[in-house]
Amino acid sequence: MADSQTASLEPITAADGTPLKKKLAQALFRSRVRAVSLVVPLFAFVMASFVIPILALMWQGVYNDRFSSHMPNLTERLTMWDGLTEPNEKMYEALVADLKTARADRTIGRAATRVNQEFPGTRSLFTSTARKAKKLKPPFKESVIKANKKWNNIEVWQAMKITSQDLTPGFYATALDGRYTVDQGFVRQDENRQIYVKLFWRTMLISATVMGLCLLLGYPVAYLLATLPLRASNLLMIMVLLPFWTSLLVRTTAWIAILQSQGVINDLMVFVGITADDARFSLIYNMTGTIIAMTHILLPFMILPLYSVMKTIPPSYMRAARSLGATPTMAFIKVYMPQTIPGIGAGGLLVFILAIGYYITPALVGGQDGQLISNMIAYHMQKSLNWSLAAALGGILLAGVLVLYWAYDKVIGIDNMKLG
Amino acid sequence: MVQANDPFVSFKGVQKSYDGETLVVKNLNLDIASGEFLTMLGPSGSGKTTCLMMLAGFETATHGDIELGGRPINNIPPHKRGIGMVFQNYALFPHMTVGENLAFPLKVRNMPTAEVEDKVRAVLDMVQMLAFIDRKPAQLSGGQQQRIALARALVFNPELVLMDEPLGALDKQLREHMQYEIKHIHENLGVTVVYVTHDQSEALTMSNRIAVFDDGIIQQLADPVTLYEKPENAFVAQFIGENNQMLGTVQSVSKNIATVKLEAGDVVKALAVNVGAVGSRTTLSVRPERCIVTAKKSAGTSSLDARIEELIYLGDHIRCRMSVAGDDQFIVKVPNTSGQLGLEIGALSQIGWKNDDCRALDFNEPV
């Protein structure tokens, strides 16, 4: 008794008198160093190839210095300008000076492109005025407007003021079908120019549909896999995994061959007489095609987590339920299904998150209305070269996934998830 | 309680094969009276669990009829048989609380909620687990889960309860405690219990009758005392309790006493229980506690030369391993009475037994 009392008052020491905590830390130091050194290469690789590029790209979504770096004088003037009054002579002077240097440095195109992203149709305004800039004489306001009267439009200047700010919410505004303006802040685009929000919703809808279909098709297969005798279930498992191991492109193009209007399914339906030869179903190059192909490709991601959960449910639960008087259906719904929720959650989340960022398959079989937001991101990365907008769209997508993940954790609990 | 004239459960010529090549259960005929506690005892693979599963309805008999209350139940699905069952791993539904687990069989029978509540509380009270009504099974110890599983099998008042090695996962002390508890519940409720186990002490403790299974056949069906005292064949003698076996050849039989020549050459007398004609081989079986060390030869006894190989002091008795008739695994239990402790390793002595305590059974090649 006396021993335990003194121990609780003083820090416990090791045999040589050093505090036990310190001694323990020393003893664990070597193993800790070893553990860390084993992880370092992978950590460095992931940082360099994944985390840093992503962060850099995310940064581009809110930071763009194309304008300010190429038109420094004008940027300075625009910062002082309130954005509502007539642009003054000093601003015109700065504009001409910057246009001259930018033309000489051949950087005018970059600055012009940046403003064009904010206010479409202004690219030629910059390039044409820059060509004349050398000959322009003071007072610059008059001569510039004489060179091109579009400079008299205050909206051009407002657009320039916005693009002159390096740190800008403008790309996120665009990604949400709006515009960031000097005077009113966020303004929604006209109805007919809204594309991204609709696309986000369509992406969600298609992802949810694919997830639902995967669950519907995958659940019975996973159940069979978990309950069939070993020989049969091994064969079935190979059939599940075989497409998994096949190239994504091969599988997608196979669906083109099957679904196209002269394809296997349509030929069969015409042959059987379900449809007329001149009224074949359009099963591909639209949303239907995207859903069918993506469901097929993502099915294993649903089946495998479900299977791994079902495998751990002993058959005695169902037997117990039936011996207690439940019909097979009731036993399945009340006893078996609730125990597969971790698998449903894991498979559903996995399929949904994979689907929401899917790119190749919708690009190949999606046609017009089967495109997902990732296709638009790819377009801005590769075609329009508006990386900042692509980053903003990607950022919103990432935020959406994180919100879903959080909601899943709240409702079902991430600890409940079983990926295999 | 036991009404032998009116079988409640009846197996009639039941056979079962899983692969169509071998019979797991070979021609089973068994009547179980209402209110009886019958144990199916046997080594693993002897067919006892298969019999239980056929009775529960999870396996179909390949041939023969199973009757419950005079009604053939071969084609009745498990959920309509109204048989309570306790599983080996308890099979408590992990996503439901104890209360919900117990309410499950009542709710599927569409019992009114108030009544469900009452019954659940009553049965939990019976197994002294009322305080745990809102716990999940994972929060209970093995013994507590066992009680809940038992309560769940009883809550809907089934007339027949099946138990498939329900105590297998418990430690020894708890297992013994639960044996008495199950026995008392059976006595109080008067339900018919069919119990499967491979543990002979469990079977002896609880059962009215025990069916000893081996190789798909009931080797002997009797009450615990008969089974231990009067095994009818070498398998039962060796499976129930400890037992010394000697192989020999029948020389003569008179008045139920067989004279047997052992393989080592000695000649002993034994009770002829299950022997063939003169000249056939036989297994002699004698219990370790029925042997007497340093016995003088007297009428109605047999005796043999023996050498003490090993002594293990166990308090209430001394376990003595001896070489007898060429077998050095012959066990004798010497009671620890005063004046008995003169045993020494290597000492030569005589052991003997009453002729009635040595049973001449069918020939069974030792494993």
Task: Please name which of A370, A255, A351 lies closest in space to residue A303, comparing C-alpha atoms.
Answer: A351
At residue A1, the 3 state secondary structure works out as coil
Total domain count, chain A: 3
Evaluate if residue B295 carries a pLDDT over 70. no
b/e per residue B236-269 (b: at least 16 CB within 10 A): bbbbbbebbbbbbebeebeeebbbbebeeebebb
Q: Given this model, what pLDDT does residue B6 score?
A: 73
Report the residue from B79, B95, B105 with minimal CB separation from A338.
B95
Tokens representing residue A356 in the block? 């929401």
For residue A105, the tally of other CB atoms under 10 A from its CB is 10
The nearest alpha carbon in chain A to B164 belongs to A316
Q: What distance in Å separates the CA atoms of residue B183 and residue B75, rounded to the nearest whole number?
A: 32
Do both A266 and A132 map to the same domain? no
- Asked if B78 lies within 8 A of A335 by C-beta distance, the reply is no
The nearest alpha carbon in chain B to A315 belongs to B91
pLDDT per position as a tens digit, B171-196: 888 888 899 999 999 999 999 999 99
Domain boundaries, chain B: 7-234, 235-361
DSSP readout, B212-247?
EEETTEEEEEE-HHHHHH---SHHHHHHSS--EEEE
Q: Which residue has the tokens 């642009």?
A: A87
The nearest alpha carbon in chain A to B152 belongs to A324
Q: Which residue has the tokens 């099957």?
A: A258
Q: In terms of residue numbers, what domain contains A12?
A: 2-53
Do both A259 and A314 map to the same domain? yes
Query: Regarding beta strands B257-262 and B244-254, do their DSSP bridges make them parallel or antiparallel, or are they unpaired?
Result: antiparallel
For residue A19, the tally of other CB atoms under 10 A from its CB is 13
Interface test with A, best of B18, B59, B79, B102 (most A CBs within 10 A): B79
* Beta bridge mates, B63: B15
Q: Given this model, what pLDDT does residue A8 score?
A: 52
Q: Given this model, what pLDDT does residue B314 score?
A: 87
Report the residue from B79, B87, B95 with minimal CB separation from A326.
B79
The nearest alpha carbon in chain A to B82 belongs to A325
Q: Given this model, what pLDDT does residue B241 score?
A: 87
Report the residue from B58, B95, B108 with minimal CB separation from A325.
B108
Evaluate if residue B276 carries a pLDDT over 70. yes
Q: Point out the residues of chain A with pLDDT beneath 70.
A: 1-10, 416-420
pLDDT per position as a tens digit, B33-78: 999 999 999 998 888 999 999 999 999 999 999 999 889 999 999 9
Mean pLDDT of B321-336: 86
Q: What's the gap in Å between the CA of A235 and the closest CA on chain B?
A: 20
Q: Given this model, what pLDDT does residue B3 score?
A: 45
Q: Report yes or no: A386 and A380 within 8 Å, Cβ to Cβ.
A: yes
Contacts of B104 in chain A (CB under 8 A): 321, 324, 326, 334
Q: Report yes or no: B195 and B207 within 8 Å, Cβ to Cβ.
A: yes
- Asked if B91 lies within 8 A of A338 by C-beta distance, the reply is no
Contacts of B82 in chain A (CB under 8 A): 325
Torsion sign, CA atoms A402, A406, A407, A411: positive
The nearest alpha carbon in chain B to A329 belongs to B79
Q: What's the gap in Å between the CA of B304 and the closest CA on chain A?
A: 53
Contacts of B95 in chain A (CB under 8 A): 338-339, 341
Q: What's the gap in Å between the CA of A227 and the closest CA on chain B?
A: 15
Q: What's the gap in Å between the CA of A412 and the closest CA on chain B?
A: 13
Q: What's the gap in Å between the CA of A329 and the closest CA on chain B?
A: 11
Q: What distance in Å separates the CA atoms of residue A255 and residue A247, rounded to the nearest whole number?
A: 13
CB-based burial label for A41 (10 Å; 0-12, 13-18, 19+) = exposed
- Asked if A335 lies within 8 A of B93 by C-beta distance, the reply is yes
* Beta bridge mates, B331: B321
Q: Which residue has the tokens 């009504």?
A: B133
Q: Report yes or no: B34 and B8 within 8 Å, Cβ to Cβ.
A: yes
* Beta bridge mates, B137: none
Report the residue from B79, B152, B153 with minimal CB separation from A327.
B79
Rounded to the nearest integer, the mean pLDDT of chain B is 88
Query: Which DSSP category does B208 fall into?
Result: S
Mean pLDDT of B114-142: 93
- CATH 1.10.3720.10 is the classification of domain B7-234: no
For residue B141, the tally of other CB atoms under 10 A from its CB is 10
**What is the torsion angle, in degrees rounded to the nearest 10, for the CA atoms of residue B79, residue B81, residue B84 and residue B88?**
-70
Q: What distance in Å separates the CA atoms of residue B280 and residue A354, rounded to the nearest whole number?
A: 77
Do both A261 and A408 map to the same domain? yes
Question: Does residue A61 belong to any structural domain of this protein?
Answer: no
Res. B5 pLDDT band, cuts 50 70 90: low
Q: What distance in Å separates the CA atoms of residue B2 and residue B192, rounded to the nearest whole number?
A: 10
Do both A48 and A72 map to the same domain? no
| Binding-site residues on chain B for chain A (CB distance < 8 A) | 56-58, 77-85, 87-89, 91-95, 104-105, 108-109, 152-153, 156, 162
How many contacts (CB atoms, under 8 Å) link A and B?
69
Q: What share of chain B is helix, strand, coil (3-state, %, to 5)?
A: 25, 35, 40
Interface test with B, best of A323, A327, A335 (most B CBs within 10 A): A323
Report the residue from B88, B95, B162 with minimal CB separation from A339.
B95
Residue B44 φ/ψ region, left for φ over 0, alpha for ψ in the -120 to 50 degree band, beta for the rest? beta
- Find the CATH number of the domain harbouring A348: 1.10.3720.10
Where are any strands of DSSP class E within chain B?
7-16, 25-33, 37-41, 63-68, 71-72, 83-86, 160-164, 192-197, 209-214, 217-222, 244-254, 257-262, 267-272, 281-286, 292-293, 301-313, 317-324, 327-335, 348-354, 359-361
- Asked if A326 lies within 8 A of B58 by C-beta distance, the reply is no
**What is the torsion angle, in degrees rounded to the nearest 10, for the CA atoms of residue B287, residue B293, residue B298 and residue B303?**
70
The nearest alpha carbon in chain B to A339 belongs to B95
pLDDT per position as a tens digit, B221-259: 999 999 999 998 889 998 988 888 888 899 888 888 888
Contacts of A322 in chain B (CB under 8 A): 57-58, 77-79
Question: Does residue A188 belong to any structural domain of this protein?
Answer: yes
Task: Please name which of A42, A151, A38, A35 lies closest in space to residue A93, comparing C-alpha atoms.
Answer: A151
Mean pLDDT of B352-366: 83
Tokens representing residue B199 in the block? 């543990």
Do both A322 and A400 map to the same domain? yes
Do both A251 and A390 map to the same domain? yes
Q: What's the gap in Å between the CA of B78 and the closest CA on chain A?
A: 6
Do both A167 and A305 map to the same domain? no
Interface test with A, best of B53, B85, B111 (most A CBs within 10 A): B85
- Asked if A319 lies within 8 A of B85 by C-beta distance, the reply is yes
The enclosing H or E element of A186 equals strand A185-188
At residue B75, the 3 state secondary structure works out as coil
Class of CATH domain B235-361: mainly beta
At residue B254, the 3 state secondary structure works out as strand
Do both A184 and A324 map to the same domain? no
List own/partner pairs for B119-126 with CB under 8 A and 24 or more apart. Answer: B119/B155, B120/B155, B123/B151, B123/B154, B123/B155, B124/B98, B124/B99, B124/B151, B126/B151, B126/B154, B126/B185
Contacts of B56 in chain A (CB under 8 A): 319, 323
At residue B12, the 3 state secondary structure works out as strand
The nearest alpha carbon in chain A to B154 belongs to A324
Q: What distance in Å separates the CA atoms of residue A349 and residue A365, rounded to the nearest whole number?
A: 24
Q: What distance in Å separates the CA atoms of residue B203 and residue B240, rounded to the nearest whole number?
A: 10
Contacts of B277 (CB under 8 A, 6+ apart): B250
Question: Does residue A60 belong to any structural domain of this protein?
Answer: no
For residue A354, the tally of other CB atoms under 10 A from its CB is 16
- Asked if A316 lies within 8 A of B94 by C-beta distance, the reply is no
Strands of the sheet with B317-324, listed across from one edge: B292-293, B348-354, B301-313, B317-324, B327-335
Q: Where are the alpha helices (DSSP H) in B217-358?
A: 224-229, 234-239
Q: Report yes or no: B195 and B55 within 8 Å, Cβ to Cβ.
A: no
Do both A231 and A315 map to the same domain? yes
Q: Given this model, what pLDDT does residue A9 score?
A: 59
Q: Report yes or no: A418 and A342 within 8 Å, Cβ to Cβ.
A: yes
- Asked if A319 lies within 8 A of B93 by C-beta distance, the reply is no
Q: Report yes or no: B273 and B348 within 8 Å, Cβ to Cβ.
A: no
Q: Where are the alpha helices (DSSP H) in A278-356?
A: 287-311, 316-323, 328-331, 337-339, 341-356
Do both A323 and A409 map to the same domain? yes
- Asked if A334 lies within 8 A of B104 by C-beta distance, the reply is yes
Do both A258 and A330 map to the same domain? yes
Contacts of B79 in chain A (CB under 8 A): 322-328, 331
Do both A184 and A109 map to the same domain? yes
Q: What's the gap in Å between the CA of B205 and the closest CA on chain A?
A: 26
